[in-house]
Every structure is written in structure tokens, then in C-alpha cells.
Amino acid sequence: MSRSGLVDLNAGELAQDFVKFSLDAGVLRFGEFQTKAGRLSPYFFNAGLFDDGAKLGRLAQFYARRLQQAQASGELQFDMLFGPAYKGIVLAAAVAVELARLGINVPYAYNRKEAKDHGEGGTLVGAPVRGRVLIIDDVISAGTSVRESIAMIEAAGGTPSAVVIALDRQEKATDQGRDAPWSAVQFVQQKLGLPVTAIATLSDLLQVLQSTDSPALAAHTERVRSYRERYGV
């Protein structure tokens, strides 16, 4: 068993544990939040609030365990990690450390927002980008970061192999201001041709809310369910 006990959990159990952890950490919150699409969402996931060593280490354990499961099931394979600036930088570094602790030592790289014109120069930092490259991020909102990452990886000689994220909102994307028939994750999978693996989804959040013993949490169930019925895919 690992230090966290996560090694004994299947994907569904891992997902629900991750939702509970995100709630306890204050990263997953309820209220009224405006999304980039202009919708009023009853919940908000802010990975930037994994903001101390303990929370970041625990987050890395969830990513690493999900990646172990995905490799074992054949969902994805990878030779290195790539973290798109900015949140992906921290995630790639933390997950690389946790994977190494589990006996999976892989290199990682990330990009700068602006090219450096001195020292080593360029926009990419870290290990040489080669082989099957796994893009790691917190969420996929519009697929923009993934498209940019694909271009950088291919330009450096690597092969984008998959994407891993913390939470899949399972929500319709927008296309020219209108609801699209696909989610941002589905866009990446179908249009960009990359498999996407998430630690947890909106479905997992709803399962936690429906099964909780906490009246305060259960009170959010109907609003989240209604939001998914309106905007979900």
C-alpha cells in the first residue's frame, strides 16, 4: 500500500476520494460563478488553491495513481510529461516526483509564455521533448492550451500521446457564442485525436453529493443536477 492508500482504489473510488479531497481543501466550492462561456455555474473548481506543500503532494498522488490505472488498462501510454504554462508547470513537476516515488521515473518539460533570448534561450524548459508526450493540466476549458501544447511538442520533435486533467466538467463547449454539441474534452478527443483521462468528472461530484451524510453538501445536489441537465453532454 502507498503512503496515501490510493493504490488500493479503483478508478471510481479514486474519483470520489478526489472530489472529497477537493471539497475539504476548499478547491471545489459551491455558489454562483460565471464561466468563460457566460453561464452561471453552481460550482467552481480552482486548482490554484492547492497552494501548500501538503495539498500539492496529495494532488500529485491522485494524478500519479490515475496515470498508473490508465497505463495498466491501456487508456494511454507516455514517455514523459509536459506542463503548459502556468498551472501545468507545477503539476508536471509534482507528478514527476510522485511517479518516481512509485517507481516510474519519467522526464518532464514545460514552456515559457515568452521566449528567452539569453542563456539556453527558447520557450521550452526541462528535459528534451521526445517520444510519447503526456500533456498534464488542471482542466480543459476550450482546448486552446492543448492545441498550443501539441504545436510546441511536435515542433520539438515529440509526439503528443494523451492529456490528463484533474476534473472533467462534462459540459457543452461554445461555438461562435452558441452551445456546441460536444464538450471541450470531447473536442480534444475527436478533433485533435488525443485521449483524455480525468481524475474525476461532474458525474463523480454528483455521486458524492447524492451519497453524502452532510446536509450542507446535499443541499447543493439539485442545483448541480439541474446545471448538468441544461449544459451537460
As a whole number, mean pLDDT of residues 156-171 equals 96
Q: Distance (Å, rounded) from C-alpha 233 to C-alpha 219?
A: 23
Active-site residue list: 116, 118
> Cα dist. 54→10, 61, 74, 94, 150 in Å?
23, 11, 30, 11, 31
Grid cell in block for residue 32 = 454562483
Reported confidence tier of residue 176, pLDDT bands at 50, 70, 90: low
Choose the weakest-confidence range: 49-53, 93-97, 98-102, 120-124. 120-124
Cell of residue 157, nine digits = 520533435
Is pTM beyond 0.75? Reply is: yes
| Domains present along the chain, CATH in parentheses | 6-231 (3.40.50.2020)
Distance CA 24, CA 163 (A): 26
Quickly count: other Cβ atoms within 10 Å of residue 197's Cβ: 21
Tell me the per-residue pLDDT of 90-106, one tens digit each, with 9 for 90 and over.
999 999 999 999 999 99
pLDDT at 205: 97
Nearest to 169 by CA among 7, 71, 33: 33
Name the least confident of 4-18, 59-73, 75-89. Answer: 4-18
How long a stretch of residues is the chain? 233
pLDDT at residue 11 in the model: 85
Please state, rounded to an integer, the average pLDDT across all residues of the chain: 91
Is the model's pLDDT at 76 over the cut of 80? Answer: yes
Distance CA 161, CA 80 (A): 10
